[in-house]
Structure 1
Amino acid sequence: MKRVYVIGTCDTKEAELRYAVERVQAAGAPALLVDISTASSTAAADVTPEMVARHHPRGADAVLGHADRGRAVTAMAEALTQFLLSRDDIGAVLGLGGGGNTSMVTQAMRALPIGVPKLMVSTMASGHVAPYVGPTDIMMMHAVADVAGLNAITRTVIGNAAHAATGMAVNAVPSSGETRRAVGLTMFGVTTAAITQIRQLIEGDCECFVFHATGTGGQCLEKLIDSGLITAALDITTTEVADHLFGGVLPCTEDRFGAVNRRRIPWVGSVGAVDMVNFGGRETVPEVYSTRNLYIHNPQVTLMRTTPEENEAIGRWIMARVNRMEGPVRFLLPLRGISAIDQAGKPFHDPQADHALFDAIRAAWVSAPNRKLIEVDAHINDKAFAEASVHAFRDITRGK
């Protein structure tokens, strides 16, 4: 049976961690106590700080003995990440702690594949948890009282968490037996028509996973690709790139498209909704953008039309990554518009800006046997574009 890894800083929370280990074992699973103290610890843990620290790329000395706690915590998080990635007996990971421990443990948790149970009992769990959870399936459980001594509250919360982690470790979710190809699709409100048509055309022989292109959505897609759970993608909506480059609230990261290259999966891409940068309510738009073409989607969302110069930058940024892809790639340009509000008569209709985007992509494109640039004389939400996307997808997945 795989083990529940109970992780925390034994120099300050040994009693609480040992109680969690006790409850895991009582519930029927083997447990492993991992001590990630960055200060001196004399606890007899199953895995000591020195054992974890040796997994740091620069060795244990890069982690232990620092007077600067911030540097030590950062280094221990990296060492813990590499330690967990080296293990093949993880049934679940259970972390306990406050801010520092939560930061270290969840960083390592985020590196684990989707589906490996991850539960973090934290004093930080009732606030903004996106920095800890990211695009993964980490379960955050509020500690209620600080993890600083065993009492009626902490025993109950820690005990429940230990039982939950044990339950996930010993009751693996059975395989669905699904044999269809797992395909990721990216969608925004203004490309919904395109993705709906594409999904309907392929879902007979593909299991479709649609991701809302909200920054986190793109990261979730790529996490699942890295985990091997998504094996092909129709990445039609790349709007997160515009937010990343120009200060929007739904940005991708610098690693956007990185998982596609690492896994070399069949990938069909396009420029859906890169005509806009997303902000919150109208009052949140930076003053520098106050005279721009702004569209109030709803009281909480304001869209800013990208300029020709911004579109050139977007095109170059995307191509710099697409040109590195070594798997089968098709990239489609919808020449009559890239979002529902970029059509003739709509608020963001700007042929000059679109042409700047397309020209930048054409200029930066590097031809290779595995890659084809396809121009489609249609709007992105037209039936013709959906059919062209599916044709390209069939072309690169046939026989694979």
Structure 2
Amino acid sequence: MVHVLLIGTCDTKLDELLFLRTAIEEADPNVAVSLIDVGRRQTKHDAIKYTHNKLIESYGNGQKVDELPRGELVKTMAELATALVRDLHQESDGTWIDGIISAGGSGGTSIAAAVMRYALPIGFPKLIVSTVASGDTGPIVEETDITLMYSVVDVAGLNGVLRNILSNAGAAIAGMACSYAGRRQASAAKAKIRVGITMFGVTTPGVDAIRKHLESEHDVEIYVFHATGHGGKAMERLVREGGLDAVLDLTTTEVCDLVTGGVMSAGHQRLEAAAKAGIPNIVSVGATDMSNFGPKNTVPERYKSRKLYEHNPMVTLMRTSQEEAGEVGCFIASQLRQHARDPGMVEVWLPKGGISMIATPEGPFADASADEAMFNAIKEGLNESGIQTRADERDINDASYARDIAEALMEKVRTHVTRP
């Protein structure tokens, strides 16, 4: 039997949730549905398997939540439901549940999304029917694979439109869960080495060359992450979940956005996961010559006089200054030095011939003094850390550089595999 969790605020959305429950079961009779109530107050109905009171008693030490302000209530119920779903997923090695779905407004969406982000791994079927699914969905999805379906009308009373949408959602999660269960139960093929690589438009030739070399010469599976903020977070998350065996972090441009306030920062935890995991991890400085902003007229006033480059009508790049480049280098070195569980598994490559497609000599972002400031900050920051740095005269997109850095990673993979 395939099992789907249905999570929602039963005190306000019970009729809609029950309709969705029926839609799932009618879509596939082999799918069982368990309803989790994350509402403000207890709702009594035989269909609710995990009641409000049960959630509070089991995971909230019996605390009263019905008088909490809305923001605190959403946060509290999300934390309690996350604990429950995490436990359910971990039962029987994660085979107890096969999918999760929710339907609701902004509050219910916030609770369900938090549960899906923090309790369940990437690849596990997750779907939310939401009134806010057509707006800025970044804070809902973040770096995960949550599927959103816009409700069109409010989830506040059944009507022809909402019934159609909930029926589609029920069929979708039933199909996703059955497919997931089938893949999970299928006999596993020979495992390949899973390698994560970070890429940006201006490092694409290098990444393509690395990928082609690794796939032709080694038994690997490549995962390329677009370093747009969420891409870096997604790679870090997969490492934490045990979903990657090695990382070639060629493109660390997201650190520039963290330093300057650009729009593609991956946050202060960037570069931590692979270092903490102790897996083979080669880091380079691809696209650290730039910060990212939107259309040119959205660039902050304090940066209007800086060297700007219109990558496309929606993306404007700003050249990293010498001071900012030094800060980027200090951040990279500090993160690796502080978090490296096994310094021998970490290495930093510094391509002096150009750190992006447009930062090579004569390129619009060529600035040797800024690059050198970053290189020096990294080398000084990693001095006596056990982490090796390699200065190289080639540029980051050079085909031979790509081959050599790929082989250096695989050498670390071989060393890692043979260690006791």
User: Above 0.5 in TM-score?
Assistant: yes
* Residue in 1 that maps onto 2:37: 35
Is the 2:330–2:377 contact (alpha carbons within 8 Å) kept by the matching residues of 1? Answer: yes
Secondary structure in structure 2 of the residue aligned to 1:179? coil
Mapped partners of 2:261, 2:190: distance in 1: 40
Out of 115, 139, 142, the position equivalent to 1:131 is 139
Offset at 1:42? 3.9
Mapped partners of 1:84, 1:54: distance in 2: 15
Out of 317, 327, 340, the position equivalent to 1:303 is 317
Out of 349, 356, 359, the position equivalent to 1:332 is 349
1:163 aligns with 2:171: yes
* Residue in 2 that maps onto 1:392: 408
Task: Tell me which amino acid in the other structure corresponds to 2:69.
Answer: D
* Residue in 2 that maps onto 1:256: 270
* Residue in 1 that maps onto 2:123: 115
User: In 2 relative to 1, CA 30–304 (structure 1 residues): closer, same or farther, beyond 3 Å?
Assistant: same
What aligned pairs does 1:236-385 form with structure 2 within 5 A after superposition? Answer: 236-323=250-337, 324-327=339-342, 328-365=345-382, 367-369=384-386, 371-385=387-401
Q: State TM-score, norm by structure 2.
A: 0.89
Q: State TM-score, norm by structure 1.
A: 0.93
The alignment yields a C-alpha RMSD, in angstroms, of 2.0
Out of 202, 205, 209, the position equivalent to 1:193 is 205
Secondary structure in structure 1 of the residue aligned to 2:194? strand
- The alignment-based identity, stated in percent, is 39
Is the 1:11–1:42 contact (alpha carbons within 8 Å) kept by the matching residues of 2? Answer: no
Offset at 1:368? 4.6
Mapped partners of 2:267, 2:189: distance in 1: 34
Superposed structure 1 runs of 4+ greater than 6 Å apart: none
* Residue in 2 that maps onto 1:77: 78
Task: Tell me which amino acid in the other structure corresponds to 1:167.
Answer: G
Secondary structure in structure 2 of the residue aligned to 1:249? coil
Is the 1:55–1:82 contact (alpha carbons within 8 Å) kept by the matching residues of 2? Answer: no
Mapped partners of 1:60, 1:260: distance in 2: 38
Mapped partners of 1:191, 1:313: distance in 2: 21
Offset at 1:100? 0.3
For residues 171-212 of structure 1, the C-alpha deviation after alignment (integer angstroms, 9 at most, x for no partner) is 335367363211111111211122122112211221112121
Offset at 1:377? 2.4
* Residue in 2 that maps onto 1:22: 22
* Residue in 1 that maps onto 2:109: 102
Secondary structure in structure 2 of the residue aligned to 1:71? helix
Structure with the higher helix share, 1 or 2: 2
Is the 1:53–1:80 contact (alpha carbons within 8 Å) kept by the matching residues of 2? Answer: no
Secondary structure in structure 2 of the residue aligned to 1:333? strand
Out of 94, 98, 116, the position equivalent to 1:91 is 98
Is the 1:14–1:43 contact (alpha carbons within 8 Å) kept by the matching residues of 2? Answer: no
Out of 40, 46, 50, the position equivalent to 1:47 is 50
